Amino acid sequence: MTDLIQSAERPTRAYVLHPDLKAADTRRLPELRLAEAVSLAVALPNLDVVGHEVVRIAKPHAGHLFGSGKVEELKARFEVLEVDLVLVDGPVSPVQQRNLEKEWGVKLLDRTGLILEIFADRARTREGVLQVELAALSYQRTRLVRAWTHLERQRGGFGFVGGPGETQIEADRRAIDEQVIRIKRQLAKVVKTRELHRAARRKVPFPIVALVGYTNAGKSTLFNRMTGADVLAKDMLFATLDPTMRGITLPSGRKVILSDTVGFISDLPHELVAAFRATLEEVLEADLILHVRDISHPETEEQAEDVGEILESLGVSEDVPLIEVWNKIDALSPTSREALLVADARRSEVQAVSALTGEGFEALLGAIETRLGEERHDDTLHLPFSAGRERAWLHDQNVVRGETETKDGWTIEVNWSVSQRHRYRAL
């Protein structure tokens, strides 16, 4: 990605700023947004956060984001603290980035750049690495006005009469475009391989239950508790990036496939939406979604709204059943826990658990069993003889309950989930 991280002998000293714009959305408290930004910074290895603060801004300065007085004040503070890197929790234009880096004599990353760094450090699968690299190139293409020393116009033509050639920025942009084409070709091959794997999975007649939620809500801990797996589970944002799937057996003996996914976050950079594809395709094909919430977090409602918006933008069907899993109830006082559960009118759609202690797991597994059972439907399909592929798919999914051959084709009685019906229609 970048040369952000310094040598192992001396960690990079970082300072985190959260610009609080008066005209901005006040749905979330700036102090809590700052705390989340600090957690993002801590998620990077070899980074030492030496300070952080909320900066109140009446109106963003076009050239420096902050006012001249605040820029000077921060410069003095950075010099005392020997800051190497400034992280701004919000969008910073290329011009503002260049000017602030020149003024402060440090490197600067905005929120998008920081999340890109984390993804670059965490991606493990071939597709994940390629998607993050592609997102990084798209981001870098817009930052080519940074404080480079070689952006003078190159000479073009021949001899002494040649006109001005392309600028170095144009050459760099062209080089990035060539890399983007190369990565997209590699991704196309990886996607074909993954499609074969997913096609094979569809033949397994087990429903898919997908875990989604805000980052650090405890999905991986819950996944480990339910499956006995050993997926990385840490008190860290984006501890899990790549998809993980395991089979589990419900109390009735019914088998399901549980899928752990990457955590969501507010203001997710659009460059990174594609990087979520590997995990989110399991959500798009899920028979049941478990929305895991950190119910002990002071902004749990706001986080839930962010998750809902991302699911909607991804095209997750409203027909797919969803259970809210209120995790980390062990972090609540008994009084708060009781009041929360009694007061909430959606109790039938909520399962309160502690992934750490296992409290509430029997009820959760029972709710999964019930919802999967409720959401299967009987349908009658009339297929012509030319629809042999569709007929074979239905049999592979083990949803056929009866079949009659007619003079024009087949009449097939099926019992299937909403997700299976959507997948069938997409054939």
pLDDT digits (tens, 9 = 90+) for 159-204: 333 344 456 677 778 888 888 899 888 888 877 776 676 666 666 6
Sorted by sequence, the CB contacts under 8 Å of residue 224 that are 6+ apart come out as 230, 231, 233, 355
Q: Where are the beta strands (DSSP E) in 22-124?
A: 47-57, 85-88, 107-110
Look at 10-24, 50-64, 159-173, 273-287 and tell me which has the smallest mean pLDDT: 159-173
Q: Are residues 291 and 353 in the same domain?
A: yes
Q: What is the DSSP string of 226-289?
A: HH-------SSTT---S-EEEEEE-TTS-EEEEEE-PPB-TT--GGGTGGGHHHHHHHHT-SEE
Q: Are residues 219 and 362 in the same domain?
A: yes
- Give yes or no for residue 9 having a pLDDT over 70: no
Task: Report how far residue 270's alpha carbon sits from residue 255's, in angstroms, rounded to the nearest whole number.
Answer: 36
Sorted by sequence, the CB contacts under 8 Å of residue 427 that are 6+ apart come out as 389, 390, 393
Q: Are residues 308 and 329 in the same domain?
A: yes
Look at 67-71, 109-113, 279-283, 406-410 and tell me which has the smallest mean pLDDT: 279-283
Annotated binding-site residue? 217: yes
Task: Report how far residue 407's alpha carbon sits from residue 255's, in angstroms, rounded to the nearest whole number.
Answer: 38
Q: Are residues 35 and 107 in the same domain?
A: yes
Q: Are residues 198 and 215 in the same domain?
A: no
Annotated binding-site residue? 238: yes
Number of domains in the chain: 4
Annotated binding-site residue? 213: yes
Mean local confidence (pLDDT), 118-127? 75
Annotated binding-site residue? 275: no
Annotated binding-site residue? 239: yes
Sheet holding 409-417, edge to edge: 376-384, 409-417, 400-405
Task: Report how far residue 293's alpha carbon sits from residue 367's, in angstroms, rounded to the nearest whole number.
Answer: 16
The rounded Cα 316 to chain-centroid distance in angstroms is 14
Q: Are residues 222 and 308 in the same domain?
A: yes
Whole domain around residue 270: which residue ranges?
A: 205-372
Mean local confidence (pLDDT), 351-366? 89
The rounded Cα 21 to chain-centroid distance in angstroms is 25
Annotated binding-site residue? 354: yes
Q: What is the pLDDT of residues 58-99, one digit of tens each?
A: 888 999 999 999 999 999 999 999 999 999 998 899 899 999
What CATH number is given to the structural domain containing 76? 3.40.50.11060
Annotated binding-site residue? 223: no
Sorted by sequence, the CB contacts under 8 Å of residue 308 that are 6+ apart come out as none
What CATH number is given to the structural domain containing 333? 3.40.50.300
Annotated binding-site residue? 424: no
- Give yes or no for residue 127 having a pLDDT over 70: yes
For residue 116, count CB atoms less than 10 angstroms from its CB and return exposed for 0-12, middle for 13-18, buried for 19 or more. Answer: buried
Annotated binding-site residue? 261: yes
Evaluate whether residue 385 is within a structural domain. Answer: yes
Sorted by sequence, the CB contacts under 8 Å of residue 403 that are 6+ apart come out as 410, 411, 412, 413
Annotated binding-site residue? 219: yes
Annotated binding-site residue? 99: no
Mean local confidence (pLDDT), 148-153? 41
Annotated binding-site residue? 138: no
Annotated binding-site residue? 408: no
Most confident of 141-150, 255-264, 359-368: 359-368
pLDDT score of 370: 85
Annotated binding-site residue? 172: no
Evaluate whether residue 292 is within a structural domain. Answer: yes
Residue 99 backbone dihedrals phi, psi, to 5 degrees: -65, -40
Evaluate whether residue 154 is within a structural domain. Answer: no
pLDDT score of 196: 72
Evaluate whether residue 164 is within a structural domain. Answer: no
Annotated binding-site residue? 356: yes
Annotated binding-site residue? 328: yes
Task: Report how far residue 217's alpha carbon sits from residue 302's, in angstroms, rounded to the nearest whole number.
Answer: 13
Q: Are residues 342 and 380 in the same domain?
A: no
Task: Report how far residue 111's alpha carbon sits from residue 129's, in angstroms, rounded to the nearest whole number.
Answer: 20
Q: What is the pLDDT of residues 301-316, one digit of tens each?
A: 989 988 888 788 777 7
Q: Are residues 352 and 212 in the same domain?
A: yes
Annotated binding-site residue? 110: no
Q: Are residues 84 and 232 in the same domain?
A: no
Annotated binding-site residue? 288: no
